[in-house]
Chain A
Amino acid sequence: MAETYQEGSGAGADFDLSQFYQIFFEEAGENLDQMEQMLLNLDLSSANDEELNGIFRCAHSIKGGSATFGFSDVAELTHQMESLLDRLRRHELQPIPQMVDVLLESADASRSLLARHQAGGQGEAVSTTSLVRRISDLAAGLVPGDTAPVVAAPPPSAPAPAPVAAAPAPKPSSSSAPGQARQLEIQIGPLDRPEQADAIKELFRDIPGLGAIRDVPGSPPNTRVFAVETTSTNDDLLDLFAFHVAKEQVLIRDAAGDGSAGPDDEATAAVDTSGGEAPYGFFNGAPGAPHGEATQAVHAPAPQAPKAATRVAAEPKAAMQAQMESTTIRVDVKKVDQLINLVGELVITQAMLAQNSRGLDAGAYQQLLAGLADLDRNTRDLQESVMSIRMIPMSIVFSRFPRMLRDLANKLGKKVELVTLGEATELDKGLVEKITDPLTHLVRNSCDHGIEMPADRLAKGKSEHGTITLSASHQGGSIVIEVRDDGRGLSREKILSKAQERGIEVSEQMSDAEVWQLIFAPGFSTADEVTDVSGRGVGMDVVKRNIAALNGSVEIDSAEGYGMKVSVRLPLTLAIMDGMSVGVGEEVYILPLSSVVESFQVNADDVSTVAQGSQLVKVRDEYMPVIALEKIFQVPRFDLNKSSNIMVVVEADGSRVALLVDELLGQHQVVVKNLESNYRKVPNVSGATILGDGTVALILDTGGLVRRARH
């Protein structure tokens, strides 16, 4: 064993395996994620083979890779996991929650171990000794705090986890040496319908040379006993039978023997295992096997075996999940961003050409104009395709929550179910990365403050299990992510009194929406006590700030006793947005179209000036502050007779302001260029773009303008 590992790590002197490390780390990470997800979805009472095999395969792959590349600590741990999973998928053990727990913990530990290897041995060492012991106890059928073994099916003979690549000790048995005809008694059962065993008889009829079979009368109820004469080994027979009855249902006895041997005792005895530890071997007489090289004294099978195999192979193998591997490629994000940048430039160039060609005579420049129209269409298509490269499904974000909620609910003693909707909804990669933390906060809050303890829920006539629903959907040009729970909801009174304590001005007349907004105040928490999960008052204000930084907004809806809903609205992408261009003097500004509510011509009478020169405009019985862009940006005005007389109402953070502008120029998609990284942060401006005529226009930060009007 140990030597097998060293073989991996010590690889041939002329081979540098380290070049494959990165790809292995990524692959192992994916396998761990997949395993974790499958473990969380595992229904212990009705785990099916496909699921158990899937989980087993993940552990198996990681073990194989880590042993090959010399990460023996990971190989050892995953080997233990594999041993336990192997017994589960063979139905030798019943899956129990402790197994899922220890497997999840081991997955975490494997991740840490791998991260340490990836960092070149940097970081804290992770001890896996206790995990390894816990797994091997469980694999041996011991349940912590319980002396009764959880072994299912017939008790296996060798539960001790064998080290990597170790073969079980040989179990010599003269009774099943292949090559000569043997008299066997085969008992099939218990069966729901004993006729099922007829298929076994058909096997002997269909496969020439397999041997003879006849019924033995007087079988126990629900079982069939056959007398069989065959040259095939028990293993071959078991393999064949496996397509009709489970291995556990087959008992092969030597007709002349003591009759006590179960399948586990005999089945493995068919092969000479003299070279069980050999690193490789060939089968005598097998196609392509070197002459005189067969290191394994595995006898050539009876001539009928390949025929039998043919029949076996004809059984359709269920096509499992399609492999994504062959249809995807990994690309550095930088390359994609560069591509997007270039397309952005192309969009600008195209817009310039379109603008400059506007005055051309359609007759004289017919071909040129047709070409430009094509360019317009192709540019748009190209832009869409390129942008879609950066789009990744929300399931990437959602997938982390089942595990988190499970741990959290356990810690809090609550019962919580997570429902996710719209996982396929796609969002820009940059946004996905930035939205994960705020969402984690919201989900944590829902679980900690929202969902009640099971007993409280039952007392209120609710189901014991609380439900947290995460959903994502496209709505217009934005994506809306909702975190909904059916917990206790927000308490208006509590929030108001808390706000008063903190010296925030409140009144009983405030609308619910306004009251809910109070929880976004820095340091605000209504939790009666601080838990280590949440309730320290750092939270909602950070959430709100983070989302606002992404040009998004947060809304809360709540009904006390029934739960609450937090909706996060985000633009689809940060790189391109729909804008409305407005003119002030000689300048052009862009307003995010998503924040524009309406626009209208204003009469001087509608505007009233209040204290300190602030102006208000009355729109349908509602007063809102007026912001003259001309003043804010100190736009020079050459034609003094002209003045702004158009108002554009924009909304942000639930408040509205009216912007005073000269003219509305149009709506178009603009490529957002970051001003901060290229110049510096400018108040009331969120970015810049290049217009069709090559001039630069500033994109206004409506949130900033609204805040400015408030103070």
Chain B
Amino acid sequence: MQSILAVDDSPSMRKMVSFTLTGAGYHVVEAVDGQDALEKAETHNIDLVLADQNMPRLDGIGLTRKLREHPKFKTIPILILTTESSDQMKQAGRTAGATGWLVKPFDPNRLIEVIQKVIR
């Protein structure tokens, strides 16, 4: 079973994402912010990271940068969840090494659809 690291500081969003993905047959590891995600990524086998952009301590793009530094996470897909699909955000995401982005709010089915496009 493939593992997805779901990172969001909002418990309700985390639950929703986690529920959706678990229902679609993925194993979900939850993290409450970027810093927590780094720690969880170390200790779990992660196939994809789904990170909220706006979080305390370490945001989604910061997390992406940190993960990409690590050989283990050089190639795994990292998707950023954001409420603003602004160019600046995209540019920052791409520069940091993110795979793509998904605009909040999103439909659970859309989430699965996007995930299935990138996870192998």
Query: Which stretch, A316-324, A507-515, A637-645, touches the partner chain B?
Result: A316-324
- Number of A-B residue pairs at CB separation under 8 A: 210
> Roughly how many angstroms separate A271 CA and B92 CA in the complex, as a whole number?
10
Tell me, yes or no, whether B22 is within 8 Å of chain A by CB.
no
Q: Would A325 and B32 count as touching, CB distance under 8 A?
A: yes
* Chain A residues with CB below 8 A from B84, complex form: 165, 167
> Roughly how many angstroms separate A14 CA and B16 CA in the complex, as a whole number?
13
Contact of A281 among B20, B100, B110 (CB under 8 A): B100
Known contacts A289-B118, A308-B95; A20 and B103 CB within 8 A of each other: no
Q: Would A12 and B105 count as touching, CB distance under 8 A?
A: no
Known contacts A20-B19, A165-B83; A287 and B117 CB within 8 A of each other: no
Give chain B's interface residue range (CB within 8 Å of chain A). 35 or more
Q: Which of A675-709 contact B (CB under 8 A)?
A: none
Tell me, yes or no, whether A293 is within 8 Å of chain B by CB.
yes
> Roughly how many angstroms separate A29 CA and B36 CA in the complex, as a whole number?
23
A256-278 vs B, Cβ < 8 Å mask (1 yes, 0 no): 00000000000111110100111
* Chain B residues with CB below 8 A from A290, complex form: 117-118
> Nearest-CB distance from B51 to chain A (Å)?
13
Q: Which residue of A lies closest to B73 (CB)?
A: A287
Q: Would A273 and B12 count as touching, CB distance under 8 A?
A: no
Known contacts A60-B83, A63-B83, A279-B106; A287 and B77 CB within 8 A of each other: yes
Tell me, yes or no, whether B68 is within 8 Å of chain A by CB.
yes
Q: Would A27 and B12 count as touching, CB distance under 8 A?
A: yes
Query: Which stretch, A136-144, A298-306, A557-565, touches the partner chain B?
Result: A298-306
B74-93 vs A, Cβ < 8 Å mask (1 yes, 0 no): 11111100011111101111
B91-118 vs A, Cβ < 8 Å mask (1 yes, 0 no): 1111111111111111111100010011
Tell me, yes or no, whether A288 is within 8 Å of chain B by CB.
yes
Q: Which residue of A lies closest to B87 (CB)?
A: A271
Q: Would B77 and A323 count as touching, CB distance under 8 A?
A: no
Known contacts A276-B85, A306-B97; A270 and B65 CB within 8 A of each other: no
Query: Which stretch, A65-73, A195-203, A205-213, A215-223, touches the partner chain B?
Result: A65-73
Contact of B54 among A17, A19, A60, A167 (CB under 8 A): A60
* Chain B residues with CB below 8 A from A278, complex form: 85, 103
Q: Would B106 and A68 count as touching, CB distance under 8 A?
A: yes
> Nearest-CB distance from B44 to chain A (Å)?
15
Contact of B77 among A268, A270, A288 (CB under 8 A): A288
> Nearest-CB distance from A7 to chain B (Å)?
5
> Roughly how many angstroms separate A5 CA and B88 CA in the complex, as a whole number?
23
> Nearest-CB distance from A514 to chain B (Å)?
54
Q: Would A165 and B103 count as touching, CB distance under 8 A?
A: yes
B40-65 vs A, Cβ < 8 Å mask (1 yes, 0 no): 00000000100010111110001001
Known contacts A279-B102, A320-B56; A64 and B13 CB within 8 A of each other: yes
Q: Would A239 and B95 count as touching, CB distance under 8 A?
A: yes
Q: Would B86 and A268 count as touching, CB distance under 8 A?
A: yes
> Roughly how many angstroms separate A298 CA and B110 CA in the complex, as a whole number?
22
Contact of B65 among A313, A323, A326 (CB under 8 A): A313
> Nearest-CB distance from B57 to chain A (Å)?
5
* Chain B residues with CB below 8 A from A305, complex form: 95
Q: Would B62 and A280 count as touching, CB distance under 8 A?
A: no
A225-246 vs B, Cβ < 8 Å mask (1 yes, 0 no): 0000000010110010000000
> Roughly how many angstroms separate A296 CA and B102 CA in the complex, as a whole number?
12
Q: Would B94 and A283 count as touching, CB distance under 8 A?
A: yes
Q: Would B85 and A277 count as touching, CB distance under 8 A?
A: yes
> Roughly how many angstroms separate A290 CA and B48 CA in the complex, as a whole number?
13
> Roughly how many angstroms separate A323 CA and B36 CA in the complex, as a whole number?
9
> Roughly how many angstroms separate A706 CA and B117 CA in the complex, as a whole number?
78
